[in-house]
A = this chain, B = another copy of it.
Amino acid sequence: MRDQGRSGCPINLTLEVIGDRWSLIVLRDMMFGNRRHFRELLAGSEEGIASNILAARLKHLQAVGLVTRTPDPDHKQKATYSLTEPAIRLLPVIAEMSAWGLAHQPVTPDLAIRAQLLQDGGHPLLEAFMAELRHLHLGAPKPARSVLAELTRAFLAARAAQQA
C-alpha cells in the first residue's frame, strides 16, 4: 500500500524537499543576500524569521542535501553554511516564483527591481548567477560577471530613490 502523502511524481518529490515556505526563504537569503552565517540569516531577514524556525530549517536543508555546514574551529557560533549543487539548481524555480510574484502580487518597489532584472536577464543571467554561486559556495573558478553585484547595486539605488 502506498504511504499517505508520498508518490514518485517529480513535482511532489520537489515539494517534499522545498514545499515549506521558510526553507525557500532561507535559500533565497543565501543566494541573493550571500548570507552564510546563522546571525546574518537571522538579523537580515526581511520576514523576521524566528531563531528556532531558522535553526530547524537549516537542519532540514542539511538533511535533504541542499546545504552543508562548515564549523569554525574557534567560534562555535560562526559555522558557515554553503549551498550544494542541487540547491544552486533551484535558482530557476525561485526565479519563476519571483516573476509570478512581480506580476500578480503587491511587491514593494525596492524589492521589485531585482525581480525585474532577474526576469529581463532571462536564461543567460540565471546561468551567470549559478556560475557565481558555484564560485562562492563550491570553490569553482570566479566568473567574469557578478550578477550578485548587479542585483545588489540596483536594489540599493532603488532603495535610496525610494527614501529620497
Copies in the complex: 2
Q: Which of A2, A8, A102 has the most CB of B within 10 A?
A: A8
Tally of contact residues, A, Cβ under 8 A:
48
Flag the segment in A12-20, A54-62, A71-79, A136-144 that touches B: A12-20
Provide the bound-state CA to CA distance between A141 and B131, in Å.
Answer: 42
Q: What residue of chain B has the Cβ atom nearest to residue A19's Cβ?
A: B21
* Chain A residues close to B by CB (< 8 Å): 2, 4-17, 19-21, 24-25, 28, 46-48, 50, 86, 89-90, 92-108, 111-112, 115
8 A-B pairs with the lowest CB-CB distances in the bound complex, closest first = A8-B108, A10-B101, A19-B21, A13-B105, A7-B46, A14-B101, A14-B97, A93-B96
